[in-house]
């Protein structure tokens, strides 16, 4: 029954999406931005829109997506579509690919930006939440790359811009799962970039340090104090550097001087030397003093705060300019 209703909803949404405003963009390439409703993803969407690219935004909250799409459309005069999906659900990426195909547009550039943080002693993190981190940060990003890279290679243009983190450059105690998920994205990007070199397709990854967004408060686990390890950059600065690097064909992009120095230091320093320093700094930043005892209940601050049970996230639409 739920599947049937979802199908009906999608059909209606697709019908709405083919109004005359869209007609001019049918068959047109789009930049797909996961996590495009706020934070770094929104800044990236706005940055690509400023360069004249039509957009397709993905996140869970459809009201926020609609608002973001409307603003981008009116500010830059590009067509902005959106679809609300929870990327942690196994069927989400196939539905997104089907929606784009149904709307007869294709992903010219894929920006894998949606991501979830999880901060805690590894042995106490909530299993369900750990699964969501792996599903969003790794599986969804991989599936979308896998779905759309072949078309990009055929057209010999476009590419993938993955959003990882400086945290992906080293094992991170108390941020273990998140950092490992970002390491995966960096490795996948590097390999993908090598495989596609000379094809006209770019595969890049951007490694921000702390960025001034709501990411930490949307992440789960320890009662995170603002990580004061590095000064925070603005989402716009990160997006500008990322887009310029991507368009220049750079594989690994590090925004900011401090970020660049950090990357160099992480590359040159063996982990056995780094580990105690990172451990102490992470303890201070995420716990204040000592991490939780394994027996305590895990506090899930929850990035799923706006997920109400039974909500159907397969909502699609187009911003009305
Ligand atoms: N902020 C930082 O300090 C920082 C540093 C390094 C790297 N990064 C990386 O940058 C990326 C973006 O972070 P941000 O700071 O912009 O975070 P943010 O402000 O919390 O935004 C996250 C975006 O992802 C979407 N999202 C979250 N969970 C989702 C799900 N399950 N399915 C679909 N969409 C989902 C959110 O929309 P909904 O909530 O509506 O779904 C939102 O659009 C992440 O990959 C993060 O790891 C951030």
Mean pLDDT over 235-243 rounds to 98
292-39-165 Cα angle (round to 5): 60
Asked whether the whole model's pTM tops 0.75, one would answer yes
CA of 272 from ligand 1 middle (Å) equals 31
Question: Of the candidates 173, 95, 90, which has an alpha carbon nearest to the alpha carbon of residue 132?
Answer: 90
pLDDT above 90: residue 149 = yes
Question: Of the candidates 208, 205, 183, which has an alpha carbon nearest to the alpha carbon of residue 259?
Answer: 208
Q: Is 149 in the pocket of ligand 1 (CB under 6 A)?
A: no
- φ and ψ at 94, to 5 degrees? -65, -40
Q: Which two tokens stand for residue 20?
A: 């005359």
Q: Is 106 in the pocket of ligand 1 (CB under 6 A)?
A: no
Ligand 1 atom closest to the Cα of residue 208 is 6
CA of 195 from ligand 1 middle (Å) equals 28
Which percentage of the chain shows pLDDT scores above 70? 78
Ligand 1 atom closest to the Cα of residue 306 is 39
| Ranges 50-64, 180-194, 273-287: which has the least confidence | 273-287
Q: Is 286 in the pocket of ligand 1 (CB under 6 A)?
A: no
**The predicted structure's pLDDT at residue 282:** 83
**The predicted structure's pLDDT at residue 148:** 97
**CATH-assigned architecture of domain 27-308:** 3-Layer(aba) Sandwich (3.40)
Neighbouring CB atoms inside 10 A of 205's CB total 29
pLDDT above 70: residue 194 = yes
| Ranges 14-18, 77-81, 93-97, 119-123: which has the least confidence | 14-18
| Ranges 26-35, 57-66, 130-139, 224-233: which has the least confidence | 224-233
Which one of 203-207, 215-219, 304-308 scores highest in mean pLDDT?
A: 203-207
Which residues are known catalytic residues? Answer: 178
Task: Enumerate the β-bridge partners of residue 118.
Answer: 220
**The predicted structure's pLDDT at residue 205:** 98
**The predicted structure's pLDDT at residue 231:** 76
Mean residue pLDDT of the chain comes to: 84
pLDDT above 90: residue 222 = no
How many Å apart are CA 212 and CA 215, to the nearest integer? 8
Question: Ligand 1 pocket test: which of 33, 41, 206 has the largest number of ligand atoms within 8 Å of its C-beta?
Answer: 41
Q: How many residues appear in the chain? A: 321
**Could you tell me the pLDDT band of residue 193, with boundaries at 50, 70 and 90?**
very high
């Amino acid at each position: 029954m739920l599947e049937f209703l979802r199908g009906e909803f999608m059909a209606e949404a697709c019908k709405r999406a083919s109004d005359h405003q869209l007609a001019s963009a049918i068959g047109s390439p789009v930049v797909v931005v996961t996590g495009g409703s706020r934070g770094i993803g929104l800044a990236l969407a706005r940055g690509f829109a400023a360069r004249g690219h039509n957009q397709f935004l993905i996140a869970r909250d459809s009201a926020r997506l609609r608002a973001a799409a409307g603003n981008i459309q009116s500010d830059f005069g590009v067509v902005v579509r959106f679809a609300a999906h929870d990327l942690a659900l196994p069927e989400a990426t196939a539905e997104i690919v089907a929606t784009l195909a149904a709307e007869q547009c294709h992903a010219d550039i894929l920006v894998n930006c949606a991501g979830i943080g999880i901060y805690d002693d590894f042995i106490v993190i909530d299993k369900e939440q750990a699964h969501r981190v792996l599903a969003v940060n790794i599986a969804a990003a991989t599936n979308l790359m896998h779905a759309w890279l072949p078309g990009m290679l055929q057209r010999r243009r476009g590419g993938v811009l993955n959003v990882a983190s400086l945290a992906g450059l080293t094992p991170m105690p108390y941020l273990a799962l998140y950092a490992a998920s970002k390491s995966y994205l960096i490795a996948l990007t590097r390999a993908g970039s090598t495989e596609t070199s000379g094809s006209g397709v770019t595969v890049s990854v951007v490694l921000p340090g702390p960025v001034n967004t709501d990411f930490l408060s949307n992440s789960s686990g320890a009662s995170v104090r603002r990580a004061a390890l590095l000064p925070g950059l603005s989402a716009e600065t990160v997006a500008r550097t990322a887009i310029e690097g991507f368009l220049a064909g750079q594989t690994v992009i590090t925004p900011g001087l401090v970020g660049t120095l950090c990357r160099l230091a992480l590359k040159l320093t063996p982990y056995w030397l780094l580990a105690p320093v990172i451990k102490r700094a992470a303890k201070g930043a995420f716990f204040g003093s000592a991490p939780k005892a394994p027996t305590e209940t895990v506090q899930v601050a929850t990035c799923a705060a706006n997920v109400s049970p039974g909500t159907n996230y397969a909502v699609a639409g187009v911003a009305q300019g």
